[in-house]
Structures are given as structure tokens and as C-alpha cells.
Amino acid sequence: MVENLGIAFQLFATMDNVIMLFIGVVVGCTVGAIPGMTATMGVALTLPFTFYLPPVTGILLLIGVYKGGIYGGSIPAILIKTPGTPAAACTVLDGFPLAQKGHANKALHMALYSSCFADFVSNIALIFFAGFIASFALRFGPPEFFALILFSLTIIAGVAGDNLARGLISACFGLLLATIGLDLIYGTERMIFGEPELMGGIKFIPVLIGLFALPEIIDHYTRKLETHKRFAGLGDEGVTMAEWKRCFKSVVRGSFIGVIMGAIPGIGGAPSAFLSYSEAKRTSKVSENFGKGELEGIAAAESGNNGVCGATMIPLLALGVPGDVITAVILGAFMIHGLQPGPILFEQNITIVYAIFMGIMLSSIYLLVVGKVGIKLFAQVSDVPNSFLYPIVLVLCVFGAYAVGNTMFDLIVMFVMGLVGYFMLKFKIPAAPFLIAFILGPLLEDSFRQSLQLSRGSFDIFVRNPMCWVFLAMTVISIAMVIRRNIKLKKDKELKAMLLE
């Protein structure tokens, strides 16, 4: 253990890692601060720049972008009432009224401190729980993995939005696309149509960039030119110690809510922020001020959404299962660097895991420093008009997609996926289930077929082991809960229509 920690420290403590992580946090904060750019887009566009880097450095760069992006989303939420990321939607409730009162600086500082604290708590949770879960998962064979990944696919219900059917359609497209290539058992062709570039399957990065960046660019053309929102000014006041102490209880509560909700695949930052906010409002002595510019509201929302960051990495690192769409992208990054997150990673590359943990801890400190020093600068970034931004994003997409395999074919894939993504956007089909299914699809199929090979075609293998039963039961419960939620939503809608009549 100590020897491994020593090796991990050597692996981590290089100038490249320290600088790249810093760059990642800066890029993330910048991307998050720009309305219209999400943390997912930021991670997706940074991914091609990690190809030439060693695995630890590349992954730390992406983690920096992720963490910076989630915090950065609070800046435009507070200043111009436009959350930079969906997770920052709750911060608008009190952040913007406070900025209107001339206390934007105070609001931004509270968002920063709460985000950093929650991020730190989340990282500690990651370090403590990931190893424990991974050691347990080491006993898993192909049938257990099949059951686990099947359960993980139910996270699609969480990222599907209001319409489950459309989310499932999206996931089916992802699963179908992932089957293209040579069959792993027989080596026969599957939907290749004689194209040699397709033999190894469709590459992840062109699909990712095409789905998450290009549709926004195409859609921008259909938008009217809008007067750009500008913020009034930051003000001079920061957060006093008394104010921090008053909000501390909500920050701690929000951090733990974030950790718990982040560790459950499919929930994400936004619900966690809203739950933390509503709990803070319910228990606060000044609950009547919530929604009118209450500092405690910002603290609760930001700690709730940043508390998720480290925790979403628990299922990713321990089981190889992404907790949300950004961790799905990071999972893709691990694979690109020849690493497969999950128990095997802990067994074979424990030094890399420890080095990543060290970097993750440093990222919390960087977030505090970068946020503190750069608040004024990031506030200016939220003023960048999209007419400049989208052409820049397009060029980054093209360079990034080409760099994957030095081939024009990847550009074609990216453009085609961009069109598919645009039509999905218009038909309100969410893109996140597509990506998660595209990544998990091959793992699901492989474990399914490996299990059947082991059992010589008998399906009994999936119910022989108690662990399979547990995961299958969780899958059934998860599906039942989703169906129940949808029926309830439908009934509520009908009731509302009846009342209106």
C-alpha cells in the first residue's frame, strides 16, 4: 500500500500533471461561464487534446475541465440569470436577485466557497468508497457484469428527461450504432458495407463531438439575433466570516446530499442542487428570504451541485459504470488511453488510480484559487456573444475529430452525427442516453455473450449467482419506479387538464 502510494506520488508529482490540471480548471471555469456551452461540451472538446498526453495527465486535464465547468456554470447564473450548465439552474433563484441588489461579488464568492467545500467532501467520499466497492466487485464474472451493466442502463431513465419513450429510442440508436464493426466472437462483418474504416467500429470521439457540439451550432442559425445580456457590475463586497458561518450548515448538508445523489447513477447535479436548496429553505430561520437573494440559498444550491462531482466518479472508477453523461465521456477517455475503469483497474493499475486521486484532491484547491483570482475575468467571459463562439467551437470540433485517427472518415462521422443530433434536438430526443448506451452497449453485449459461452448457451448462468439476483432485482425495481413516475406524471397532467376545463 505505502509502496504503491509512493509510486503513485511519483507518477502524479510531475510538472505536466500539475500544469495540465490547472489548465483544465481554468478551461472548465471559462467554458462553464459561457452561456450555451456546457461542461459536457467542454470535456468533449478537450478530449482530443489529451491523445498525446500520458493517461494520468490526460484524465486529470479532463477532470479539471469537469470540475471547473460545474462551478463556472454558476457565474452567468448569478450575473445574467442564464445558467452556464443545467446544474446551475437552481443558483439562479437567489444568485440573480442578489446580483440585482448590487451584491454580485458576494454571491459569486459564496458560490465559489460552497462549491470548493462540497467538491472536497465529494473527493474524500470518492477516495474512501471507490476502493471498497472495487475490491468487492473483483469477484464479479461475466454474468454479474452483464446484470450490473443492465442495471446501469436504467440510468438512462434518469437522463431521459420528461419523455421516457424518447430517451429509450435514443438509447436504442446508441446500442445499434455500437454493434457496427467486426463481430468479436466470429470475426464476421456487422453492418460494415465493405467500408474498412468501419471494421473496428465507429469511434467514440466523432460521435461525441457530433452529438453534443454540432447540433447547437446548426440550431444557432435558426435563432434571431438577440440583444446580448450584460451584467450591471460586481460590487465590492465579499463574504464575511459571519455569513459563511451562518450558511455553513446548509453547505455541509448540501455536500452530503450531493455525495449521495452523485453516487447513484443517473441523477446528476441539477436534482441534487434543488433537493439541497429545498432542504435549506425548509430548515432555515430566514426561509422567507429564499428566492429573493438569500446567500444561504446560493450556498445550498452550489454545494448540492458540486457535491456530485467526485461522487459520480465512484461508480465509474469502482465498477466502470458512468454516473452521468460527463463521466461517460471520461470513461471514453480512459478507454482511449488503454485503461478500463472498474475493479480490474484497481487490481492492475492501482498506482494510476492513486495518482488520479491525488490530482482530484489538488483540483479542489485549484478551483478555489482559480475561482478567487479569476472571478472578474470569468464574469467578462459570460459576455462573449455566440456569434463569435460557435465558429470557434466548430473549428475545435473539426481539428479534434480529425486528430482521433488522422482520417477524413472521422470527420464524415462527426458531420453525420451532428445532423442526427440536430434532428434529435428538434424531435426532443435527448442525446445523453444515446452516448451512455453507445459506451455501455459493447460491454453489455460482450458480457452477455461471454456468459453464454461459459454456460454453453444456457440462460441459467444469469440466475445462478446471488449477486446477479441482486442486480436483476435492482433493475426491475428501477424500471418499476420509472413506470410509476411516468404514470403519476400522466395522471397529474390529466388532472390539471380536467381542473382547467
Partner 1 sequence: MFFARFSDVILGAVLSAGTLFMLFVIVPISVQVPKSNKVLALSPDFWIKIILWFMLLLGVQLLYQGLKTAKELLADEEIAAIEDAKTHHHPMGRSVFMVMVAITNLFVYFFLIDWLGMVIASIISVITFALLCGERRIKIILPIAVILPIGLYYFFLKVAHIPMPLGIFE
**Under the rule (CB under 8 A), what is the footprint of partner 1?**
49, 51-52, 165-166, 168-169, 172, 175-176, 179, 183, 185-186, 188-193, 214, 217-218, 220-226, 385-388, 390-392, 394-396, 398-399, 402-403, 406, 408, 411-412, 415, 418-419, 422, 427-429, 445, 448-449, 452-453, 456-457, 459, 493, 496-497, 500
Phi, psi of 69 (to 5 degrees): -65, -40
Least distance between partner 1 and beta carbon 175 (Å)? 5
Nearer to partner 1, 176 or 344 (CB): 176
Of the two residues 221 and 241, which places its CB atom closer to partner 1 in the complex?
Answer: 221
- Between residues 15 and 188, which has the closer beta carbon with respect to partner 1? 188
HSE at residue 365, side-chain half, CA atoms within 13 A, is 7
Nearest CA among 388, 361, 390, 374 for reference residue 26: 374
Q: Please identify, using beta-carbon distances, which residue of 245 and 456 lies nearer to partner 1.
A: 456
Taking the least distance from each CB to partner 1, the nearer of 183 and 288 is 183
Q: How far is the CB of 137 from partner 1 (least distance, A)?
A: 24
**What CA–CA distance (Å, rounded) separates 210 from 23?**
24
Among residues 370 and 397, whose Cβ is nearest to partner 1? 397
Neighbours of 64 (CB within 10 A): 29
Decide whether 133 or 182 has the Cβ nearer to partner 1.
182
Choose between 411 and 470: whose C-beta lies nearer to partner 1.
411
Question: Taking the complex as a whole, how short is the minimal distance between the CB of residue 48 and partner 1, in angstroms?
Answer: 8
Q: What is the DSSP string of 378-435?
A: HHHHTT--HHHHHHHHHHHHHHHHHHHHT-HHHHHHHHHHHHHHHHHHHTT--SHHHH
For the chain, report the end-to-end CA distance as a whole number of angstroms: 68
Which residue's CB is nearer to partner 1, number 139 or number 428? 428
3-state DSSP call for residue 190?
Answer: strand
3-state secondary structure at position 181: strand
Q: Which residues contact 50 (CB under 8 A, 6 or more apart)?
A: 57, 58, 59, 61, 62, 333, 336, 337
How far is residue 333's CA from residue 60's CA, in Å, rounded to a whole number? Answer: 11
Min CB(43)–partner 1 separation in Å: 18
C-beta closer to partner 1: residue 192 or 264: 192
State whether the Cα torsion 62-19-307-238 is positive or negative.
negative
* Strand, coil or helix: 210: helix
CB of 451 to partner 1, least distance (A): 10
> Which helix (H) or strand (E) is 89 found in, with range?
helix 89-100
- Least separation in angstroms between residue 476's CB and partner 1 is 17
| Nearer Cβ to partner 1 (124/394) | 394
Going by C-beta distance under 8 Å and a sequence separation of 6 or more, which residues neighbour residue 349? 339
Shortest distance (Å) from residue 145 CB to partner 1: 16
Q: At its nearest, how many Å lie between partner 1 and the CB of residue 416?
A: 10
Least distance from C-beta 167 to partner 1, angstroms?
10
Half-sphere exposure of 185 (CA within 13 A, CB side): 12
Q: How far is the CB of 484 from partner 1 (least distance, A)?
A: 18
Which residues are within 8 A (CB) of 339 and not within 5 positions of it... i.e. 6 or more apart? 55, 345, 349, 352
Cα distance between residue 374 and residue 371, in whole Å: 5
Q: How far is the CB of 497 from partner 1 (least distance, A)?
A: 7
181 pairs with which residues across the strands?
A: 190
Task: Give the nearest distance from C-beta 41 to partner 1 in angstroms.
Answer: 17
Q: How far apart are CA 73 and CA 76, in angstroms?
A: 6
Kindly tell me which of 214 and 261 has the beta carbon lying closer to partner 1: 214
Q: What's the one-letter identity of residue 448?
A: F
Query: How far, in Å, CA of 128 to CA of 130, rounded?
Result: 6
Name the CA dihedral angle for 287, 293, 295, 297, rounded to a multiple of 10 degrees. 50
